[in-house]
Amino acid sequence: MYNDIRPRRLRASAAVRNLAAETAVDGRRLIMPHFVTETGPEREPIATMPGIDRVSVNELVRDVEADLKLGIFYVLLFGIPAAKDESASGAYADDGVVQRAVRAVKKRMPEVCVVTDVCLCEYMSHGHCGIVKDGRVLNDPTLELLARTAVSHAGSGADIVAPSDMMDGRVAAIRDALDGSGFIDTPILSYAAKYASAFYGPFRDAAGSAPQFGDRRSYQMDCRNAIEAEKEVMLDIDEGADIVMVKPALAYLDIIRRVREIVNVPVCAYNVSGEYSMVKAAAKLGYADERMLVTEILTGIFRAGADMVISYHTREIFREGWL
Ligand code: PBG
């Protein structure tokens, strides 16, 4: 045997493995998503996402407070409005559900960093991320509504706004509007390379945001494309994105790596609802060990190059001390 090189030496004990490990899942870079409802029960489990509830603003504050005690400082908020219409008016209403949620969280816990998802689909009667006319999703007229939504979130105290709609030019429109309203210091975390994906299935059930006709393929990216992801992130950075996101994460680890290598801003990855629910289902059936699945998946996402990860597993990771 060639006896000079024995890689197994560095694997012989947990202590040596830990010392030699190249990647660590950094709990301080995990972001916990929340679904906040304007009406309905104070707390309601989401059938397709075991362990995640839809909550009222009051219950949200309780959850964020309990999570903060565990050490979770970052939250991403999604709103589920009482009513939807053709102009997504709930998205940019002063007393909209996200606006109220942000104010409530920031008032009680200013140290929590609140990221808001800026999108219209939850607020549109047809469930698309933009204004629809003659069965088409219109790009430019949608920008104004997105910009209004972002400004309204920032005005409510959001620390970071995160546009997830995939309209062309939205980052520039949002940056202009934020600056024009005095929010020059509010960063934009852009869902830059967001793919049309079956992995969003549970989210659409959770948020009631499934498109009522067609699909999102005319605005979200095609999963066959990687070079195009470079184009999307570079465009968003040129338009003023401070952080760029790749989404989903698991089937797109190559995209995370590729983006990490070409940009000089932080890269966020979204470990989406379907990725969470698959793990939950496998664990429930006893097909695999949940803790090991979760830590391996998150390690893979960080190893691929993510600087931060949005994951529905965050609370459990902290509560169970999995890291
Ligand atoms: C809104 C939005 C979606 C997700 C985040 N923001 C759904 C979609 O694009 O259909 C998905 C998040 C997840 O699946 O966890 N546009």
Question: Residues 114, 118, 124, 129: what is their CA dihedral angle, to the nearest 10 degrees?
Answer: -140
Segment 113-126 shows an average pLDDT of 98
Q: Label the pairing between strands 53-55 and 43-45.
A: antiparallel
- Residue 3, pLDDT > 80, answer no
Bridge partner list, 311: 271
Pocket test for ligand 1, best of 164, 216, 223, 273 (most atoms within 8 A of CB): 164
Q: Could you tell me the pLDDT band of residue 4, with boundaries at 50, 70 and 90?
A: confident
Q: How far does CA 191 lie from the centroid of its chain?
A: 8
Q: Could you tell me the pLDDT band of residue 1, with boundaries at 50, 70 and 90?
A: low
Q: Is 103's C-beta closer than 6 angstroms to any atom of ligand 1? A: no
pTM of this prediction exceeds 0.85: yes
Q: Which atom of ligand 1 is nearest to the CA of 33?
A: 15
Segment 235-243 shows an average pLDDT of 98
Segment 106-118 shows an average pLDDT of 98
pLDDT of residue 298: 98
Q: Could you tell me the pLDDT band of residue 173, with boundaries at 50, 70 and 90?
A: very high
Look over the chain and give the mean of its residue pLDDT values, rounded to a whole number. Answer: 97
For residue 236, give the nearest of 215, 259, 256, 258 by alpha carbon.
Answer: 259
Segment 90-95 shows an average pLDDT of 98
How far is 39 from 31, CA to CA, in rounded Å? 25
Q: Quick check: helix, strand or coil at residue 26?
A: coil
The Cβ of residue 254 has, within 10 Å, a number of other Cβ atoms equal to 12
- Cα 194 to averaged position of ligand 1 atoms, centre (Å): 9
Segment 201-210 shows an average pLDDT of 93
Q: Is 203's C-beta closer than 6 angstroms to any atom of ligand 1? A: yes
CATH of 24-320, one of 3.30.450.20, 3.40.50.11030, 3.40.50.720, 3.20.20.70: 3.20.20.70
- Cα 12 to averaged position of ligand 1 atoms, centre (Å): 42
- Residue 24, pLDDT > 80, answer yes
- Cα 247 to averaged position of ligand 1 atoms, centre (Å): 9
Bridge partner list, 160: 115
Protein residue with least CA distance to atom 14, ligand 1: 200
Protein residue with least CA distance to atom 6, ligand 1: 164
Domain ranges of the chain: 24-320
Q: Is 121's C-beta closer than 6 angstroms to any atom of ligand 1? A: yes
Q: Could you tell me the pLDDT band of residue 2, with boundaries at 50, 70 and 90?
A: low
Q: Which residues, at least 6 apart from 280, have a Cβ–Cβ distance to it below 8 Å? A: 49, 50, 51, 290
For residue 142, give the nearest of 110, 113, 112, 118 by alpha carbon.
Answer: 118
pLDDT in tens, 38-70: 999 999 999 999 999 999 999 999 999 999 999
The Cβ of residue 222 has, within 10 Å, a number of other Cβ atoms equal to 9
Give catalytic residues, as residue numbers. 194, 247
Q: Is 164's C-beta closer than 6 angstroms to any atom of ligand 1? A: yes
Pocket test for ligand 1, best of 119, 153, 218, 313 (most atoms within 8 A of CB): 119
Q: Is 59's C-beta closer than 6 angstroms to any atom of ligand 1? A: no
How far is 8 from 34, CA to CA, in rounded Å? 43
Q: What percent of the chain has pLDDT over 90?
A: 98
Q: Is 129's C-beta closer than 6 angstroms to any atom of ligand 1? A: yes
pLDDT in tens, 135-171: 999 999 999 999 999 999 999 999 999 999 999 999 9
- Cα 15 to averaged position of ligand 1 atoms, centre (Å): 40
Q: Where are the alpha helices (DSSP H) in 31-108?
A: 57-70, 97-108
